[in-house]
Structure 1
Amino acid sequence: MSIPVGDVTGVEFDRNTAFLRHTFLGLFFLLLSLVLTVGIVAAVYLGQVETRTDIAFAGFFGLFAVGGWNVTYGLLSRSNREVIDVYITTEERTHVLCGELADAEFVDACAELVDSDLPTTNRNPKLEAELE
């Protein structure tokens, strides 16, 4: 993608934390899923699930347990990636570029934008050390 420098009215940098591993939240869902699973299995094993209503509740909570295990896996198995979002504003529209903080070429290109004569804004103070 190429944007003429003369058309750029501003550049903004932001840190995107959506791709970070959320360990605390993952451990919370692990505990919740474990409690639901053990509770359902114990209730069935002890013979407390007898009526159709009890079976429906056990199935309903079983779906919550399966969903909890799925969320736990999703939160704890993803890679821990820090992403920089670059918003390049022109008179017509705003272009969004994204790149990993681990990508040296992308970080160098962002640092060149900061050092250029273009008006830049950093929305996240943690990025200042990386972009200098």
Structure 2
Amino acid sequence: MEDCIFCKIIRNEIPSTTIYEDDYVKVFLDISQVTPGHTLLVPKVHVPDIFAYDETLAAQVFSRVPKIAKAIKASDPNIVAMNIANNNGELAYQSVFHSHIHFVPRYSKKDDFWIHWGDHTDQYTPEKLQTIADNIKAHLEV
């Protein structure tokens, strides 16, 4: 394991408020609590981001997402929605370079969290979209 903050949390060298743990993942409250219940799921093996996952690790980590999301939602009747995010790379707002998944419970439009999705529909013809899709398909590992 690496010497990152999440590896230290996994090894119990740094305290955390743990919600769930098994052989593959540790789930704990984020100290920032963007909204109450903001939770992180981290693989116990150190991988910097999604690009370092293999299929086995992905199955182990992502198969636990619904269980954690349902438990968080059930924990508070005021939770009306939830953002689940996995940031990969500094430009994508990843600040700890040990892969992790955020669960951000949503209580109202007035909570302290928002995402902006730019709409550039008018800039993409069907042909341009097909070119992008074909380029991605050419790089799929079969």
- TM-score with structure 2 length normalisation? 0.21
Q: Which has the greater radius of gyration?
A: 1
Name whichever structure is richer in helix by fraction. 1
Q: TM-score, normalised by structure 1?
A: 0.22
The higher relative CO (CA closer than 8 Å, separation ≥ 6) is in 1
